Amino acid sequence: MTALLALPEGLFALLAAARRLLFRYGLKRSRALPVPVVVIGNINVGGVGKTPLTLALLQAFATRGVKVGVISRGYGGSHRQPTEVGRDTPASLVGDEPLLLAAAGAPVVVGRDRVAAGQLLLARHPKVELLLSDDGLQHYALRRTLEIVVIDGERGLGNGHLLPAGPLREPASRLASVDAVVVNGEQRTAIDWPPRLPLFRQRLLPGSFQHLVGSQPPRQAADFAGLKVVALAGIGNPQRFFDTLRGLGLVLQRTISFPDHHDFVATDIPDDADAVIVTSKDAVKLQCVNHARLWFLPVTAQLQPDLAGWILSRLKELHGR
């Protein structure tokens, strides 16, 4: 780290700490919702695997008969007021990740003000008994029942410095105050975990390749043999996606990376490929392209041990629910 970045990092740390203290001591108001709120967040910038985790939790809670809703910032969307997300809502309005969550069948509302988003969701879906906040760890205006932090196993906490000198939104010491941590993928960097912090491991399991237009049956990696295949991704960690494709046996002519939450247009799709493979998150923004050579790879999060069961057990301890 250069001395040039030390001053802005110190200023960022001071502002972040001051903001937490204002809410902790009641100088700024934190508002509660009438149902438990579980925040799924991260202390570092970039994609860490929160959306697959939230999808897995939605399925696990549905299996148990728990009615769950999701609130989200809706990053990249143009919405100004809390907005409910439907399967056909434009990604340009609500962002990409909320569309994936809504496709799972749970009610989803996006909003810059998470409290207002939660209030709208509960007003429209009064049977919801638990809210998951997709991101929002630093949105202290929303009182939360549990905090779960997701960390990318490959990148860990980076160099351990706060923005702009490093990737952290909050210092590593913040982990001492959260309720649990989920490590996404194989942990390749050493992290000094706080004592007795519950740790969960997440693996992303790829499914069959799905045709974006839907006019062709699902494929396996071997079905792309002999074709010019290009992989395209606009996510936080595109290299993980490219490595997954190669691990499945795909021979990639080339890979193309865009910034996270990239707003795709037709000209982003290469014309010299027989097949272009994207992530599920990118696929929801490419529906308007209607490109016959586009395929996407869905993934499912597998968690060990049972995180949904642990959450319900903790909620019962805290609130008798």
What's the mean per-residue pLDDT of the chain? 92
- Tell me the one-letter amino acid at 33: L
Question: What's phi and psi for 309, nearest 5 deg?
Answer: -65, -40
3-203+302-319, CATH topology level? Rossmann fold (3.40.50)
45: annotated binding-site residue?
yes
Whether residue 37 is annotated as binding a ligand: the answer is no
pLDDT above 70: residue 163: yes
Q: Is there a binding annotation on residue 281?
A: no
Q: Is the pLDDT of residue 5 over 80?
A: no
**Paired residues of 108 in beta bridges:** 70, 85
Range in 31-35, 79-83, 289-293 with the lowest mean pLDDT: 289-293
Q: Is 47 annotated to bind ligand?
A: yes
Establish whether 105 is an annotated binding residue.
Answer: no
Q: Which pLDDT belongs to residue 168?
A: 93
CA 215 to chain centre: 29
DSSP letter string, 282-308: HHTTSTTT--TTEEEE-EEEEEES-HH
Please name the residue that has the structure tokens 């001591």. Answer: 25
The verdict on whether residue 166 carries a ligand-binding annotation is no
Question: What are residue 233's DSSP bridge partners?
Answer: 257
pLDDT at 54: 97
Q: Which residues, in sequence order, are CB contacts of 279 under 8 Å at separation 6+?
A: 233, 235, 241, 296, 297
Q: What is the pLDDT of residues 255-305, one digit of tens each?
A: 999 998 888 888 899 989 999 999 999 998 887 676 789 999 999 999 999
Length of the chain: 321
| 13 pLDDT more than 80 | no
The residues near 213 (Cβ < 8 Å, ≥ 6 apart) are 290, 291, 292, 294
**Is the pLDDT at 321 greater than 60, yes or no?**
no
